[in-house]
Amino acid sequence: MLGALRDWIAEKFPAWIFLGGLLSVWQLVVAQEWVAAYLLPSPTQIFTTTFTLWPEIWAATLSTAYSICWGLGFSILIGVSLALLFFAIPLVRRAVLPFCIFFQTVPIIAIAPLLVIWFGFGDPTVRASAFIVSLFPILANTLTGLQETDPQLRELYRLYRPSPWQLIVKLQLPSALPYMLTGIRISAGLAVIGAIVGEFIAGGGIGSLIDAARTQQRVDLVFSGVLMSSVLALSLVFAIELLSRLLLQGRPYLRKV
């Protein structure tokens, strides 16, 4: 127990020391007016701003969080379904997958104006933006997972003449599960970017908070927005970690026997 605590401190302590050092130097640089405060506000200034404007910042954060969950949730739903479809019908995969890859290479910032035209200002565009950027990693990873199913295990299952549905539920999806979760982890980060980019263009949430603060030269508020978006991303990573544990239940899904 004590040893574990010591290990934990040894592992995490350097990062905290570094953060403390960084913030101190930052504070010092601004306090000494080596850099103008309107360009780089001090850490204490950022925290004060965040504290005073908390109701607005919190509302914006919630709005963004909602859009992210919506976009990511839809990505998981559609991504896994599409992966299953592509896996089950190779002809569809060969026909459609190249366009998915092409779609993936188009930057979201280039598509965002189109989304505004189609969905108007506000949440629908933000959600669509979060969805579009986060779809591909889930789709690609799940598909890889399905395709990587151990052929020896497939042969074993074949001995018992399973239905296609049994094969999917009892062999292919469990095989793909670790890949799928990796895809979701990657997509979560992208969904945050997608939502904030969407908000820059379509309004609402942290994105428009940052954008508005920028036009008002409120750099401290920009930093507050940045801070909250990373808090949001970290919470999401944490939530997905919990989801993984729940789904994997300590079962060794990837180990070969």
Partner 1 sequence: MSAIDVTALSKRFSASEAPVVQNLTFTLEEGQCLCLLGPSGCGKTTLLRLLMGLEKVSEGDITLSPGLIEHMSYVFQEPRLVPWRSCLENVLLPLELTRSNSAGQRDRATALLQQLGLGERLGHFPSELSGGMQMRVALARALVTEPRIILLDEPFAALDERSRFRMQDLLLSFKAELGLQYVFVTHSIAEAVYLGDRILMMDAQGGQRDWRAIDFPARGQALKMTAEFNGIVESYSRLFTDMEIALVENGGRV
| Residues in contact with partner 1, shown as a per-residue x/- string from 165 to 194 under the rule CB under 8 A | -x---xx--x--------------------
- Cβ of residue 182: shortest distance to partner 1, in angstroms? 16
Q: Are 129 and 208 in contact (CB under 8 A)?
A: no
CB distance 27 to 42 below 8 Å: yes
| Nearer of residues 63 and 141 to partner 1, judged by Cβ | 141
Q: Is 256 in the site for partner 1 (CB under 8 A)?
A: yes
134 contacts 80 by C-beta, under 8 angstroms: no
- Minimal distance in Å, beta carbon 255 to partner 1? 5
Determine contact, residues 100/75, Cβ cutoff 8 Å. Answer: no
Q: Closest separation between CB of residue 156 and partner 1, Å?
A: 5
C-beta closer to partner 1: residue 176 or 195: 176
In the complex, the smallest distance separating the C-beta of residue 152 from partner 1, rounded to whole angstroms, is: 6
User: Residue count at the site for partner 1 (CB under 8 A)?
Assistant: 21
CB of 181 to partner 1, least distance (A): 13
**What whole-number distance in Å separates Cα of residue 133 and Cα of residue 88?**
24
Closest listed residue to residue 53, CA positions, set 202, 228, 195, 192: 228
In 3-state terms the chain splits into helix, strand, coil percentages (rounded to 5) of: 85, 0, 15
Q: In the bound complex, what is the minimum distance in angstroms from residue 147's beta carbon to partner 1?
A: 18
103 near 137, Cβ under 8 Å?
no
**For partner 1, the closer CB: 99 or 165:** 165
Nearer to partner 1, 154 or 214 (CB): 154
What DSSP designation does 257 have? -
Residue whose token pair is 């949440």: 123
**How does DSSP classify residue 249?**
T
Binding segment (CB under 8 A) for partner 1, from list 105-113, 115-123, 147-155, 239-247: 147-155
Residue 161, CA atoms < 13 Å, CB-side half-sphere: 0
Residues whose CB is less than 8 angstroms from the CB of residue 173 and which lie 6 or more positions away in sequence, other chains included: 146
Residues 150-169 touching partner 1, rule: CB under 8 A, are 152-153, 155-162, 166
Interface stretch with partner 1, choices 95-103, 141-149, 232-240, 248-256 (CB under 8 A)? 248-256
Q: Which two tokens stand for residue 20?
A: 């403390």
Rounded to a whole number of angstroms, the minimum distance from the CB of residue 240 to partner 1 is 20
Our CB check for partner 1 shows the closer of 43 and 162 to be 162
Q: Which residues bind partner 1 (CB under 8 A)?
A: 152-153, 155-162, 166, 170-171, 174, 251-257
